[in-house]
Amino acid sequence: MNRKYFFFNITLFAVVAFLYSCGLRKLPQPIGSNLSYPGSIVSDSPSSYLLLNTAANDDYSDGSIQRYTVDSSGNQTLASVISVPSHGTEIAVTNDGKLVALSFDDSYADTQLKFYDYSSPNSAQQLKNLTLTFPNSGGKQTIKRLGTFKRSSETNFYYVYGTIYTSANLDGTYNNIPPRTFLTKVATNFSSSQTIMIMSYGLGDPNSFVKQSTAFNSANTTNDVQYTFGFEAPTYDAQNDLFIAFPTGTLGKFAGGVINSYPSLPKPFEYFSTTAAKYNKCTTYNCTDFRAVSLAAVFMPNLVSGKSADESTFFVPLAWNQNGIPYAATSNGIDIVYSENLDKVDTQSFSFQSQFWSSYWSNTANPGTTATTCYDATATSNANQYGTITQNSLFVVKKGTNGTNQISDNSANGSTGYGGEIFLINGFDLLIANIASINTARNADTTVDKTDFASLAKYQVVDRFNSTANLNSNWLQGSATVATKNGGPLTYYMYSRTSSNAIFKNLSTAVPNLKIFNFDGGNCRPYWYRVTTSAKTYGLDSTWIGNNFSGLGAGATTYPGATTDPTLTYYYSYPTTNGANLCTDVSVSAGIPFVFCYNFLYNTATRFKVTQTSGVFTEY
């Protein structure tokens, strides 16, 4: 046989065999009505909820959004399914249930937000013209913490927000990019969408924050961006028309991977002291950029009227001690003020704060309940600033312990907590009054350089050094034992702490979402689900559903003026290392909530009836 002909036949046979084997290989099928790594769940009405299947293991060719209806007995029925791209991360729905936003993990080259028309909920369809693509900071990007709101003064737009999280590339580059929160708006007739703001500095994002020239290291002229920061844990306060997010701290060239190492922060007690001589405002170089350790409140009327992100955002520096006690309050008999008690642990642990998991305004509209509001509009006062929930309150979850960004317990009795503490913040009515005064003063100042935060800071940072006259006249007394006022318009209080449960001592946990049960008649209770966050679990996460229904008990001395005891939190515990669970509530009958949870790893559903007595969550 001709050797050339022989080898030609052998090669041809091998190619044909390979192609044939490929033809026999089974391609992933569409997901259909199956469950596959459910990654997000939201209620879209009092009698239905939406479940996102991520299909993250690629067993299916697509993902899906399933819609379930719920009857008065709490039984769910699959009503409809639409196909969506796989590797989704979260869904969010508008309060009228008509628009759904979908985000994705870092499996894709582009960081996109897709939208779906749910006007006819059982025949939903994608709105391709609304897809938004966000700028890339260099690493691999994922969008989480999606939410929506609609301003009462605007009928033509929905607002959709979320946070972009960046992880390092395979070669380790871009491993220190802070989270960045974005705000977009979508026309209610689905004709257009646009990104109107990205809350970041130093990353080249459009509609982000301007530089602060006095924070630069003047000895280094080759590096234009010497640090970066962003914001995370966003929410919307409809009572005061504020879009709110929380600080990440600074990172960048001079940070060396350590949070807030550059620009350096002042000593917190000296900064918050009533004696201005204790803190001289920096006006030269290496000055603190307080935006990186401040709650950011975007005053929406400013933003929609055409003012820049810098003129629309007001920054309130955050600081508290290991028990979550703010400046000028009293805890364990010690006044948290600049005084002779600086050698006490209650004062030594007082520090600036950054890095947070999630937040939730107290009266956030829940499509899963028929009631429109939970808490009344009582003004914040000396009497109710600690622990009392009103329309001027929001919850936020701290990453790590409240005094540091590490999971640790450096006290004998566990008083520092084990990480992921839930805080209540009061006083947004006082902040909005400050913003009105600041707007008037800044608009009249023709010397302000709006391209440099060194010039804007004297108005936009809401602290004792703000240039607006009598700004702190409405700030509250910190406590009955000291004449000192709070360090700002807001009051912080620890609502729930993990040190009450020893199981959290060696676990890193997060609270990805908080919500409010409405038992009707104005009787409302916050709840949340807590999950482990360690990469070492490889998907075998643990989950707890938590709430604080307890009255004030042993914590009265540590938390004076409080209405609930942070150490008496109740948890329903799932079996350990059994996969993360995600939950939502619906109230088919007003005041009778049901909770539905889905397990990410095993595709199983758990249902609960909810009561206001001990036990709280009853599986059925």
pLDDT in tens, 553-594: 555 678 877 777 888 888 999 998 899 999 999 999 988 999
**Confidence band for 258, pLDDT divided at 50, 70 and 90:** confident
Q: With a cut of 70, say whether residue 100 has pLDDT above it.
A: yes
- 150/114 same-domain check: yes
**Confidence band for 27, pLDDT divided at 50, 70 and 90:** confident
What is the CA angle 89-354-525, rounded to 5? 65
- pLDDT tens digits along 322-353: 888 899 998 888 889 887 677 777 888 889 99
Among residues 212, 239, 271, the one where a domain terminates is: 212
Among residues 518, 542, 558, the one where a domain terminates is: 518
Residue 109's SS3 state is coil
- 112/204 same-domain check: yes
Q: Torsion angle, CA of 274/277/278/282, rounded to 10 degrees? A: 110
Give the pLDDT confidence score for residue 412 in this predicted structure: 47
Q: Which two tokens stand for residue 275?
A: 């004696």
Q: With a cut of 60, say whether residue 405 has pLDDT above it.
A: no
504 within some domain = yes
- 98/160 same-domain check: yes
64 within some domain = no
Among the listed ranges 24-38, 58-72, 276-290, 381-395, which one has the minimum average pLDDT value?
A: 276-290
DSSP 349-415: T-EE---EEEEEETT---TT-S-S-SS--PPP-TTTTTT---TTEEEEEESS-SSSSS----STT-T
For the entire predicted model, the pTM comes to: 0.93
Q: 470 near 489, Cβ under 8 Å?
A: no
Q: How far is CA 43 from the centre of its chain?
A: 19
Q: With a cut of 70, say whether residue 416 has pLDDT above it.
A: no
The owner of tokens 């070492």 is 536
Q: 569 near 532, Cβ under 8 Å?
A: no
DSSP 200-221: EESS--TT-PPP-GGGS-TT--
Among the listed ranges 15-19, 109-113, 142-146, 466-470, which one has the minimum average pLDDT value?
A: 15-19
534 within some domain = no
- pLDDT tens digits along 195-251: 999 999 999 999 999 999 998 876 666 556 789 999 999 999 999 999 999 999 998
Average pLDDT, the chain: 88
- 180/235 same-domain check: no
- 173/241 same-domain check: no
Residue 548's SS3 state is coil
- pLDDT tens digits along 428-457: 999 999 999 999 999 999 999 999 999 999
Among residues 472, 494, 518, the one where a domain terminates is: 518
CA 52, CA 262: separation in Å to the nearest integer? 40
- 197/244 same-domain check: no
Enumerate residues 6+ apart whose C-beta is below 8 A from 517.
524, 525, 526, 527, 547, 585, 593, 610
**Plot region of 528 (φ>0 → left; ψ -120 to 50 → alpha; else → beta):** beta
- 174/243 same-domain check: no
118 within some domain = yes
Q: Which two tokens stand for residue 56?
A: 């993250």
Q: 64 near 81, Cβ under 8 Å?
A: yes
- 431/487 same-domain check: yes
- 342/446 same-domain check: yes
Question: Domain range holding 164?
Answer: 85-212
% of residues, the chain, pLDDT over 70: 88
% of residues, the chain, pLDDT over 90: 63
The sign one gets for the Cα dihedral 551, 555, 561, 565 is: negative
Q: How many domains does the chain have?
A: 2
Give the residue, 298 or 14, on which the prediction is more confident. Answer: 298
**Confidence band for 407, pLDDT divided at 50, 70 and 90:** very low
- C-alpha Rg value of the chain to the nearest Å: 26
Residue 521's SS3 state is coil
- pLDDT tens digits along 523-564: 888 999 999 987 666 678 999 999 887 666 555 678 877 777
Give the residue, 271 or 537, on which the prediction is more confident. Answer: 271
Give the pLDDT confidence score for residue 192 in this predicted structure: 98
Give the pLDDT confidence score for residue 43 in this predicted structure: 97
CA 518, CA 515: separation in Å to the nearest integer? 10
CA 282, CA 453: separation in Å to the nearest integer? 13
Half-sphere exposure of 158 (CA within 13 A, CB side): 25
499 within some domain = yes
Give the pLDDT confidence score for residue 6 in this predicted structure: 47
**Confidence band for 2, pLDDT divided at 50, 70 and 90:** low
5 within some domain = no
- 323/195 same-domain check: no
578 within some domain = no
Q: How far is CA 553 from the centre of its chain?
A: 29
112 within some domain = yes
- With CA atoms as reference, report the closest residue to 184 among 238, 114, 122: 114
Q: With a cut of 80, say whether residue 410 has pLDDT above it.
A: no
- 350/311 same-domain check: yes
Q: With a cut of 80, say whether residue 21 has pLDDT above it.
A: no
- pLDDT tens digits along 29-54: 999 999 999 999 999 999 999 999 99
- 103/183 same-domain check: yes
Q: With a cut of 60, say whether residue 8 has pLDDT above it.
A: no
**Confidence band for 69, pLDDT divided at 50, 70 and 90:** very high
